[in-house]
């Protein structure tokens, strides 16, 4: 019989077990991953970026830009598009956990765009042992809207507003209420065509400061940080010939959340609990952002280990077919959940389908064998088909 599992603690438990079974004593001693609530907001929802090692801040603008860098939308080719994404999550730990996501955008004129997305993260049907042997359905929900605008011929900016709702007990535990939080994103995107040799290639960079907002509370004495993140990325698109091109992308991501203080030598439970309450749980979210740059127990080395790296590449033939691969690195003190990714995409004008697959670097990696699939509907393509049918009449 399943017990009630909270997603955050499922993931952290997997990290903890991995660290405890490691033969590296230094890793076990320094293991202190940054913890946040509403961790479903950090999951790569779309199959394209998911197949490129979770790199997406500066990749080609597309409908999936909302969760990576909404400032890319004014540079999209299509006037409007809608995507639907499905990701079974943590398949090696439990069944029934999944993320569903829908994203859409509309370009207003040539300089600006509006976009929105909704993501639903389900922990599946969970049987609870008790007098009634009932089944509950814990879930998390996020909804956001964004406005983006070109500032110059090559530079654009965006702001997004987000609402998050987290019900981790499925309304079963009276001592744990559902929590909610509000947040905002600020993003920039720059791209330009440059001539390298005799070929005109595109270079781009992007930055997205996401989930700047309130903390979240589940009705207890503590409030928890949401996953505020700083993403920096760059990309390079190189055309091979008229029909073939290849792109390379790199992202660096850091959680702007303070590290939970470790117990000091000789500190008893009461002293440690009081210090944690004062120096961690009572800290405001904005103060936590600034503190996150210099609070690691391992100093500068520890701060660098908190950065996660994503490397991705994409080969495209005639804008119809794509092959993708990537690598995502997480340091061992932060969990060591590194993985390779592969995927493919097919574009059929009106509709496109993308798929991505995760290959863990170790057998104990709970992210191993995660599969993503995305469907995209291009409204320009649909309008073109409708126009052709009318002309035939």
pLDDT of residue 62: 93
pLDDT of residue 258: 92
342 pLDDT above the threshold of 70: yes
Tell me the Cα Rg of the chain.
22
pLDDT at 368: 81
Q: Bigger pLDDT: 196 or 160?
A: 160
In this prediction, residue 96 carries a pLDDT of 79
- Residue 299 makes CB contacts below 8 A (sequence gap 6+) with none
According to DSSP, the residues that pair with 105 across neighbouring strands are 81, 115
44, β-bridge pairs: none
pLDDT band at 381 (very low <50, low <70, confident <90, very high): low
pLDDT at position 327 over 90: yes
Per-residue pLDDT reduced to its tens digit, 245-299:
999 999 999 999 998 888 888 888 888 888 888 888 889 999 999 999 988 878 8
Residue bearing the bigger pLDDT, 44 or 27? 44
The domain limits of the chain are 7-392
- Pick 172 or 341 by higher pLDDT: 341
Of the listed ranges 80-84, 87-91, 112-116, 321-325, the least confidently predicted one is 87-91
What residues contact 127, with CB distance under 8 A and at least 6 apart? 1, 2, 133, 134, 135
At 101-144, the pLDDT tens digits run: 999 999 999 999 999 999 999 887 766 665 566 677 888 999 99
Mean of the pLDDT values across residues 356-369? 83
Position 9 scores a pLDDT of 42
DSSP-based three-state secondary structure for 38: coil
- Average pLDDT of span 192-213: 91
Kindly tell me if the per-residue pLDDT of 346 is higher than 50: yes
Mean pLDDT, range 42-47, rounded to an integer: 90
CA-CA distance, 219 to 139, in Å (whole number)? 17
Beta strand residue intervals within 308-349, DSSP E: 308-317, 321-329, 339-348
pLDDT of residue 158: 98
Residue 375 and residue 87: Cα distance in Å, rounded?
Answer: 12
Share of the chain above pLDDT 70, in %: 84
Residue in 297, 284, 219 with CA at minimum distance from that of residue 257: 284
Buried b (16+ CB within 10 A) or exposed e, 308-318: bbbbbbbebee
Topology of domain 7-392, per CATH?
Porin (2.40.160)
């Amino acid at each position: 019989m399943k017990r009630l599992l909270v997603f955050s603690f499922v993931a952290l438990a997997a990290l903890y077990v991995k660290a405890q079974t490691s033969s590296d004593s230094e890793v076990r001693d320094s293991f202190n991953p940054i913890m946040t609530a509403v961790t479903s907001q950090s999951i790569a929802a779309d199959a394209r970026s998911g197949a490129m090692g979770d790199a997406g801040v500066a990749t080609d603008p597309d409908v999936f830009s909302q969760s990576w860098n909404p400032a890319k939308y004014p540079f999209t080719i299509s006037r409007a598009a809608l995507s639907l994404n499905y990701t079974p999550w943590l398949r090696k730990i439990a069944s029934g956990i999944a993320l569903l996501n829908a994203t859409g955008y509309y370009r207003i004129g040539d300089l600006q765009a509006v976009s929105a997305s909704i993501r639903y993260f389900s922990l599946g049907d969970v049987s609870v042992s008790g007098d009634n042997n009932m089944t509950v359905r814990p879930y998390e929900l996020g909804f956001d809207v964004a406005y983006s605008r070109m500032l110059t011929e090559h530079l654009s900016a965006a702001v997004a507003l987000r609402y998050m709702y987290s019900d981790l007990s499925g309304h079963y535990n009276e001592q744990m209420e559902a929590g909610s939080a509000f947040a905002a994103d600020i993003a920039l995107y720059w791209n330009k065509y440059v001539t390298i040799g005799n070929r005109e290639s595109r270079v781009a960079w992007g930055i997205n400061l996401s989930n700047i907002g309130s903390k979240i509370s589940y009705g207890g004495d503590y409030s928890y940080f949401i996953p505020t993140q700083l993403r920096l990325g760059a990309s390079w698109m190189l055309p091979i010939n008229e029909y073939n091109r290849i792109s390379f992308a790199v992202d660096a991501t850091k959680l702007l959340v303070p590290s939970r203080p470790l117990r000091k030598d000789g500190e008893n439970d009461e002293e440690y609990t009081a210090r944690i309450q004062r120096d961690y749980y009572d800290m405001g979210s904005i103060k936590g952002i600034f503190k996150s740059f210099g609070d690691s127990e391992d100093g500068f080395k520890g701060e660098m280990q908190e950065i996660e790296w994503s490397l991705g590449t994409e080969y495209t033939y005639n804008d119809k077919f794509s092959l993708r691969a990537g690598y995502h690195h997480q340091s061992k003190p932060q969990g060591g959940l590194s993985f390779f990714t592969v995927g493919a995409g097919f574009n059929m004008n009106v509709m496109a389908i993308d798929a991505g697959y995760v290959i863990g670097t170790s057998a104990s990696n709970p992210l191993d064998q995660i599969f993503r699939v995305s469907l995209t509907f291009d409204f320009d393509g649909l309008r073109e088909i409708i126009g052709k049918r009318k002309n035939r009449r």
